[in-house]
């Protein structure tokens, strides 16, 4: 079963944080490749780059994290798929159904819609709001 990886999960894989050990443990049992969209790739790039801006990591570590992401894409650990053309419409449907109760953010809607459209059975995230939305839509969550 395919796994859609959210930016919060991926960021913990590539940059040491409070969730890194748990992310690494899940990777040991992951069916590869992890699916992400081009939107997720952009978010991950920005999340890593923000660590430099916030002075949380030195430039060398940020460059190394970016290089590791590129290597994992080349090696097939991570598969980047285009954001499905129907993702916005699916996200709007989910918004009408779930946002009144869950207070869902737009990017969470897009990630969950993408996971569903890419036929991932699971969504791995450390974002509790996104996890609630994914579960409500029938995805297994981390």
Per-residue pLDDT tens over the stretch 46-64: 999 999 999 999 999 999 9
- Rounded CA-CA distance 79/121 in Å is 15
Q: Determine the average pLDDT of the residues in 91-120.
A: 97
What is the rounded CA–CA span in Å between residue 118 and residue 36?
A: 9
Instruction: Provide the residue range defining the domain that includes 117.
Output: 3-141
- Whether the predicted pLDDT of 111 surpasses 90: yes
pLDDT 10s digits, 65-96? 999 999 999 999 999 999 999 999 999 999 99
Element (H, E) at 72: helix 59-74
Q: Are 45 and 100 in contact (CB under 8 A)?
A: no
pLDDT at residue number 142: 84
- Mark 19-44 as b/e (b = at least 16 C-beta within 10 Å): beeebeebbeeeeebbbbbebbbebb
Q: Dump pLDDT digits (tens) for 2-45.
A: 999 999 999 999 999 999 999 999 999 999 999 999 999 999 99
**pTM here?**
0.93
Q: Where residue 81 sits, what CATH number does that domain have? A: 3.40.50.1010
Structural domains counted in the chain? 1
pLDDT at 110 over 90: yes
Q: Give the per-residue pLDDT at 1.
A: 75
pLDDT of residue 80: 98
């Amino acid at each position: 079963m395919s796994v859609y990886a959210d930016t919060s999960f991926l960021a913990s894989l590539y940059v040491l944080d409070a969730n890194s050990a748990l992310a690494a443990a899940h990777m040991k049992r992951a069916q590869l490749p992890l699916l992400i969209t081009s939107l997720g790739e952009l978010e991950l790039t920005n999340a890593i780059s923000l660590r430099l801006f916030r002075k949380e990591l030195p430039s060398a570590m940020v460059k190394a994290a970016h290089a590791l992401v590129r290597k994992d894409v080349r090696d097939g650990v991570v598969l980047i798929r285009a954001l499905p053309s129907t993702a916005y419409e699916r996200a709007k449907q989910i918004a009408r159904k779930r946002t009144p109760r869950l207070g869902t953010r737009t990017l969470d809607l897009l990630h969950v819609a993408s996971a569903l459209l890419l036929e991932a059975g699971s969504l791995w995230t450390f974002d509790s709001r996104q996890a609630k939305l994914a579960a409500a839509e029938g995805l297994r969550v981390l």
